[in-house]
Amino acid sequence: MNVAQEYQPPRFLTNGHAQTVYPILFRKCRELPVLRQRLELPDGDFLDIDWLTGGHGRLAFLCHGLEGNSRGLHTSNLMSHLFASGWDVAAMNSRGCSGEPNRLPRLYHSGETDDLHFALGAALAEGGYAVATLVGYSMGGNQILKYLGEGPERVPPQVRAAATLSVPCDLEDSAEALARPANRVYMRYFLRSLRSKIAAKKMLFPDLFDTEGLAGISTFEAFDERYTAPLHGFASARDYWRKASSLPHLPRICVPTLLVNARNDPFLGPACFPANEAAGNPNLRLEVQCNGGHLGFVTLDGTGVYWSERRVVSFLKSYMQ
């Protein structure tokens, strides 16, 4: 476990909740000249990728968080800094997250890696890139870490490094952390969006979705037990959390990978700080910050760039020679 660069928050952001919420309330999404590409998937569904290209010759492939998308707050700011630092950027939207419902009953989940693999391959081919990096935050970070470790042999050789932020490596531990009364506001935020997606699926597939009592679901366990697990072939919510977590796969990661988590992140429990796994794998660099919250890491220096974005770029650049 390392801390190469210690994050120091502004003095008025005194705890993890303040650091988490500040960007949501006061930071703006970047308006970027992205181009959208639609990928047709082998199962008849589709994925949308937003591109920011400038002939840089190297690719940063980006995965967003739970109920996020490629044009949201965190993604747009990461895309902007990566592009300004010399990468073409391809930001994948998980199924149903690009502003248009996906075609099939299934949605996406926190351990989905087949879509990631397919989209990454398509992006590499699209630009003929010989060098690439993976960048993900929160849920997208879990997907990337799981992808890198569960089948290292299928990771394209162009992928030289990866960087992840605020990652719930152990989904069960994270779900239990978010179920605490102090985190009720975050739970309500996510579940409102997820319930809306299930209601939309009910309109498209009325015989497949039971929405009775949907409005009363107030925890990830209840939602995942009723919808996520059966939709994606898991036996239960806890079976889903165990099988979709990146934690068991961290020892097998074979490319240099950064994982930055903050101790005061309200989304993370103790198991989301995998010190033993990092100590046993020289390819995994775990940096545990005292501050930062969940995707906070606020910097107010007039540039509009946050500490976390600079840390991602500085780590990745060291493997781009």
H or E segment and range at residue 161 = strand 159-165
The percent of residues above 70 in pLDDT, for the chain, comes to 98
Pick the catalytic residue: 138, 174, 245, 308? Answer: 138
For residues 94-125, b (16+ Cβ closer than 10 Å) or e, as one string? bbbbbeeebebebbbbbbbbebbeebbebbbe
pTM: 0.97
Q: Return the HEC string of 113-131.
A: CHHHHHHHHHHHHHHCCCC
Whether 38 is covered by a domain: the verdict is: yes
For the chain, what percent of residues have pLDDT higher than 90?
98
Residue 105, domain member (yes or no): yes
Q: How many domains does the chain have?
A: 1
Q: Can you tell me the distance from the alpha carbon of 110 to that of 102, in angstroms, rounded to the nearest whole number? A: 17
Q: Are 22 and 299 in contact (CB under 8 A)?
A: no
Q: How far apart are CA 144 and CA 255, in angstroms?
A: 12
pLDDT digits (tens, 9 = 90+) for 101-142: 999 999 999 999 999 999 999 999 999 999 999 999 999 999
Residue 245 a catalytic site member = no
Question: Could you read off the pLDDT of 38-95 as tens digits, one per residue?
Answer: 999 999 999 999 999 999 999 999 999 999 999 999 999 999 999 999 999 999 999 9
Residue 305: C-alpha distances to residues 51, 265, 269, 301 (Å): 20, 20, 28, 8
Q: Give 209's Cβ-side CA count (13 Å radius).
A: 22
How many angstroms separate the Cα of 276 from the Cα of each of 142, 243, 252, 253?
A: 17, 20, 13, 14
Q: Is residue 42 part of a domain?
A: yes
Asked whether residue 223 is domain-assigned, the answer is no
Domain for residue 3, yes or no? no
Confidence of residue 321 (pLDDT cuts 50, 70, 90): low
Does the annotation mark 265 as catalytic?
Answer: yes
Q: What angle do CA 99, 71, 294 make, to 5 degrees?
A: 110
208 lies in a domain?
no
* Distance of alpha carbon 171 from alpha carbon 243, whole angstroms: 9
Return the SS3 of 240.
helix
Q: What is the mean pLDDT of the segment spanning 218-228?
A: 97
pLDDT of residue 59: 98
Does residue 9 sit within a domain? Answer: no
Task: Please identify which of the residues 56, 246, 265, 308 carries the catalytic annotation.
Answer: 265
Looking at the domain assignment, is residue 155 inside a domain?
yes
* Catalytic one of 98, 166, 294, 308: 294
Report the Cα 126 to chain-centroid distance in Å: 23
Q: How far from 171 is each of 132, 168, 188, 210, 238, CA to CA, in Å?
A: 27, 6, 18, 25, 9
Domain that holds residue 77: 16-171+246-318
Q: What is the CATH number of the domain that holds 267?
A: 3.40.50.1820
Q: Is 138 a catalytic residue?
A: yes
